[in-house]
Each structure stands twice: as structure tokens, then as C-alpha cells.
Amino acid sequence: MTSEPAFGQGIERTAAVLRALSKHSRSGARLTEIAMATGLSKSTVHRLLNGLMHVGFVEHDEATGLFHLGFDLFVIGAAAANRYGLVDIARPSLVRLEKRTNDTVFLSVASGTEAICIDRVEGSFPIKVLTLNVGDRRPLGVGAGSLALLAFLPDAEIEQIIESNAPRLAAYPNYSPSLLFEMVEASRRQGYTLNDGHVLPDMFAVGVPVMGRNNRPVAALSIAAVRGRMQGERRANLVGWLRAEARALEERIATLTEGLSDSEASRFGHPDYARR
């Protein structure tokens, strides 16, 4: 007999509402949209939203009827993203990469079967590629940084993640489970990941993993630009600079985890660590 989770349905439903809202972080969402996304009744969603508004996690725009994630939740999310100071220790690497390339640089981590962008430094080049905002989520494998988090996991985990994400890939017409397996193999051969217009036409991105003490990806660094800035020798340079910064981050993380127990160190590199 399977027992009910100790935390009950209330927390699960509240989490589902927040995750649904996170997919509309810029535009906001209507009550009906949240209900459809979560599979909950409108009355249940309305009750949960009222509770979340009471504690400042959700805001409601009376003029448009749209619900938005609240600033209080942003503050908590920023603290979670920076667990162990990851954002802080990686920020100098992102800044250096932007100064060398003038293109936009991203820092991503894995949470379950998703990749989350936890930091971004916008490039100064006039034509910008801003495909990810801080806090945006994608299925693991979708995008260069996300693929770097997936491709260097053990084979069994990769298979499980791709199978789990298969229904969600319908939202990304240029992706499929079979293509992701091919991209994983190509990434392992070349030692970096490549997104050649799979998310947006004429957008090109490269990424590398940042490996932890347990030889698992702790994070990923990626650079995105228009296709013309990602060819030939320049692409090779970008990959080299990404690798150099990834190695520097790995050394900092090794120092950071030196005093931790094996259990704590393993959680630092675990795909779910960002939401623990």
C-alpha cells in the first residue's frame, strides 16, 4: 500500500500554481490559464492564489486581471539560486567572458529534469540574443547550457530524463528525444555543446559544463549570439574561453566543498540541489 506523502496535497498544489505562474513570469497569467496548466479547479486555484497573495508570493493586477509572481518570492528564489554562493563565485567569470566576447553569457543549473538560468550578463554587441531571463526554466537538453547539464550525466540518468521530458518537447518543434540523444553523443565527442538555431532561427550558442567534486555537472556556462558571430575560429575561441572559466570555477568549487562532508558535497553537484 502506498502511503500519502507527509506534506499533503496542499503544498503540492501550491507548488503547481507557482510553477505555472513561473512560465508566465513576464506576461502574467489569468486564473483560467493557471487552472488549465495545473489541472486544478478554478475555485481551488483561486483559494491558493489568495493565500499566496496574503504572504506576498503572488500579486494581482486589478486592471488586467493577471496574476504575477511577487517580489518576496523573487528574493527567496535569488537566495536559493545562490546557494553555496554559486552566483557570487561565478559572476566574475561571466563578466570576463562578456568583456572578451561582447556577447551574452549565461549561468545555468539543473533542478530535477529542468535547467534554470540563475544569472546572465548581457553582451554589449548591438545585436543581442536574450533567449533566457534569470529564472527561466527549460527541459534539460533544450539550449546550449541546458544540454551541457544533461550530456555529461551518466547514461542511465540521461535516458530517464529524456523519456520524462518527451511530452514537453512538443513545445520545442526543433527538438525530439532522438535528436537529444544525438546531441548528447556529439557533445561528448567534442567536449562542448552547440545550439545551432534549435531554439530561435539565426541564434547560435555554445556551452560547457562546470563539474563538481563528484564528477557531475554543478552548473553550465554558455554564450549566445547571432550565427555570424559563431563561426570558424571565433567559435573555437569562445569554446576555449568558456572551458578556461569552467576550470577556474571548478577549482573554486573544489575549495568551497573541501570542508564539507561527502554527503554535502554530493548534494552540491546533484541535479536537484538548486531546489533543496
Instruction: Identify the domain containing residue 40 by its residue range.
Output: 8-75
* The pLDDT of residue 171: 87
**What are the C-alpha distances in Å from 209 to residues 109, 158, 215, 228?**
10, 15, 10, 24
Taking every pair of Cα atoms in the chain, the longest distance, rounded to a whole number of angstroms, is 60
* The pLDDT of residue 265: 55
We report the CATH number of the domain holding residue 118 as 3.30.450.40
CB-CB neighbours of 116 under 10 Å: 25
- Compute the mean pLDDT over every residue in the chain, rounded to the nearest whole number: 84
Final residue in a domain of this structure, among 23, 43, 75: 75
For the chain, the domain total comes to: 2
Please state, in angstroms and rounded to a whole number, the distance separating the CA atoms of residues 93 and 7. Answer: 39
* The pLDDT of residue 261: 55
* The pLDDT of residue 252: 87
Q: How confident is the model at residue 67 (pLDDT cuts 50, 70, 90)?
A: very high
Does 201 lie in the same domain as 93? Answer: yes
Q: How confident is the model at residue 132 (pLDDT cuts 50, 70, 90)?
A: confident
pLDDT per residue as tens digits for the range 108-128: 999 889 999 999 998 876 565
Does 86 lie in the same domain as 54? Answer: no
For 195, list phi and psi in degrees, rounded to 5: -120, 100
Please state, in angstroms and rounded to a whole number, the distance separating the CA atoms of residues 116 and 110. Answer: 6
Question: How far is C-alpha 82 from the chain's CA centre?
Answer: 13
* The pLDDT of residue 274: 39
**262: number of CA atoms within 13 Å, CB side?**
1
Does 264 map to a domain?
Answer: yes
* The pLDDT of residue 81: 54
Final residue in a domain of this structure, among 75, 99, 128: 75
Does 1 map to a domain?
Answer: no
Residue of higher predicted confidence among 215 and 90? 90
* The pLDDT of residue 209: 97
Does 111 lie in the same domain as 32? Answer: no
pLDDT per residue as tens digits for the range 145-175: 999 999 999 999 999 999 999 998 988 988 9
pLDDT per residue as tens digits for the range 205-261: 999 999 987 788 999 999 998 888 888 899 999 999 999 999 999 998 888 777 655
Please state, in angstroms and rounded to a whole number, the distance separating the CA atoms of residues 28 and 23. Answer: 9
